[in-house]
Chains A and B, each alone.
Chain A
Amino acid sequence: MTGTVDPTVFNLIVFVLAIFVGYHVIWNVTPALHTPLMSVTNAISSVIIVGAVLAAGPAETDFGSALGAVAVGLAAINVAGGFLVTQRMLEMFKRKQPKAGKE
């Protein structure tokens, strides 16, 4: 094999493997926690804030970086809201006696 591999090919590799990991991890989630799963995946998908920070980053502000700043704000709502509401829900799941059951 000669030459360099196009970044898109690497992206594709990462993409496919990540889907496999996601598939296997998600099937192990207990159905009782599907709502927290949804709110936490919501928070995780707001990692798009990374793209927003890059867009808002340049020292010279223009139309694009202004939109980037707005996107940072929108995604930040999700980051904070998603993780905190998940935390709030998970705090509610308690078992009866601290000793009942083993795991």
Chain B
Amino acid sequence: MSANLVVLWYLVASVCFILALKGLSHPESARRGNYFGMAGMAIAIVTTLAIVAKGRVDIILMAMAIGGTIGAFVARRVQMTQMPELVAAMHSLVGMAAVLIAIAVVNNPASFGIPDPLPTGNKLELFIGTFVGAITFSGSVIAFGKLAGLGKHFRPFSSAPVVFKGQHILNLLLALVMIGFGVAFFMADGKAWTAFAVMTAIAFVLGVLIIIPIGGADMPVVISMLNSYSGWAAAGIGFSLNNPMLIIAGSLVGSSGAILSYIMCRAMNRAFISVILGGFGAAEGSAAAGAEQKTVRSGSADDAAFLMSNAESVIIVPGYGLAVARAQHAVKEMAEKLIHKGVNVRYAIHPVAGRMPGHMNVLLAEAEVPYDQVFEMEDINSEFGTTDVVLVLGANDVVNPLAHEKGSPIYGMPILEVAKSRTVLVNKRSMAVGYAGLDNPLFYMDKTMMVFGDAKKVVENIVKGLE
């Protein structure tokens, strides 16, 4: 195949990838979009195989078969609550692949059609691709450990921020040393293995150090950020190989991750830089003092069932506590019972409900909640004023009215305006504070009734109460 033809096929594959992303603007077009994505990938792979047709295609196909089988198996078995872990694990694979390819390029540039010794420009790009790949790998491994709750076994995996004195200085110094070795690598005449190896090793360490100080509440940002990095790593390798396929796909993914990071930061009212520097959730534990003096009104599941069945409209606000209790199916059953009684039931989703962007939507979809009953924050916030009953299930900070009070740590964070509705039912296991470590005035309002207990049990009891 001529070089021109190869690049044209890559263009076709790139268009397929863009259509795959474009499809995601609506659930109906998304499935077709995903087929475009698969087609694009198939075109990219077959085209590349044609380039190396005279080489070891046998080994390549074997590696693909093994990897593909593992991937297919995992995709089939993974729980929807484990999506964040899966995504983190997959980011780490892209990062590692980037590093391995970079080593192969340094070893034998000629096999990629690049002059040997490597031109300085290619070395610079290789340097960028390698360190971004290495940081993506080790950072994603740490993120995976934190998400999978492996902190008990290995301290860097703790979901609490791991901070120590001089952390930022150390990171900065390491970054500078890494860049120093990078410069040495692209100034050298020969292969400069030593500089390359030291630089890569430091990048691996940096990846760990960057992610360990970030707390559990900020994980949605971290996953989005690593998503972005994995794209930039692919683009960086694309630059050094002069391969437009990698550059285009890498840039699409890189910008996607960057936008998601921005959306997540905005939803939590956090500056991106302070998320990266980490430590959130550790310092602000004292704000809950005085909670005992105030009285809360608590009721039973039967009371909740009575209130909701007599309402005209109900909005359900699910939080991650709902997914932890695996109560999605019970909630769906409850909603169906209410709808059967003529109640208008809707779900309101805060952008950071769940542990990754859009996580709660997937969890509800898995429980067969129709997506046209599920609304995003901006679309439903104006509806709370005309709603009879709001049922808050395992959410806390995202409905905390303190976000409207100047001086509160979460001031300015966009919240679901549940306090505007006529009655608020809140299900929680206890009066414990949320991630932000803040007390929630919503719980003490006259219109609020607390229903304590495990989300799944409470909802199941409500279902019984509705019969």
B70 and A48 contacting across the interface, CB-CB below 8 Å: no
Contact of A31 among B31, B101, B111, B376 (CB under 8 A): B376
A86 and B256 CA atoms in complex are apart in Å by 16
A55 and B366 contacting across the interface, CB-CB below 8 Å: no
What chain A residues lie within 8 Å of B376 (beta carbons)?
Answer: 30-32
A interface residues, how many (CB within 8 angstroms): 84
Within 8 A of B (CB), among A30-81: 30-59, 61-65, 67-81
Q: Given A74-B67, A81-B72, A94-B365, are A50 and B86 neighbors across the interface (CB < 8 Å)?
A: no
A47 nearest CB across to chain B (Å) = 4
A45 and B231 CA atoms in complex are apart in Å by 6
A51 and B250 CA atoms in complex are apart in Å by 12
What chain A residues lie within 8 Å of B111 (beta carbons)?
Answer: 54-55, 57-58, 64-65
What chain B residues lie within 8 Å of A62 (beta carbons)?
Answer: 107-108
| B448 interface residue per 8 A CB criterion | no
Contact of A89 among B38, B107, B362 (CB under 8 A): B362
A44 and B362 CA atoms in complex are apart in Å by 20
Chain B interface, DSSP helix/strand/loop, else mixed: helix
CB nearest neighbor in B for A80: B71
A94 nearest CB across to chain B (Å) = 6
What chain B residues lie within 8 Å of A86 (beta carbons)?
Answer: 34, 37
B interface residues, how many (CB within 8 angstroms): 116
Q: Given A31-B357, A53-B52, are A78 and B101 neighbors across the interface (CB < 8 Å)?
A: no
Within 8 A of B (CB), among A1-42: 6-8, 11, 14-15, 18-19, 21-23, 25-42
B97 and A63 contacting across the interface, CB-CB below 8 Å: no
Q: Which of A45, A69, A80 has the most CB of B within 10 A?
A: A45
**Additional pairs, 10, CB under 8 Å, beyond known A22-B21, A76-B66:** A35-B359, A37-B357, A44-B17, A52-B101, A54-B51, A55-B112, A56-B63, A64-B104, A80-B68, A80-B71
9 contacts between A and B (CB under 8 A): A25-B21, A34-B361, A40-B33, A42-B253, A44-B252, A73-B67, A75-B67, A78-B67, A101-B372
Which residues of B come within 8 Å of A, CB atoms?
13-14, 17-18, 20-22, 24-28, 30-31, 33-34, 37-38, 40-41, 44-45, 48-49, 51-52, 54-57, 59-60, 63-72, 74-76, 78, 80, 83, 86-87, 90-91, 93-94, 96-98, 100-101, 103-105, 107-108, 111-112, 121, 125, 223-224, 227, 230-231, 233-235, 237-239, 241-257, 259-260, 263, 349, 351, 356-359, 361-362, 365-366, 368, 370-374, 376
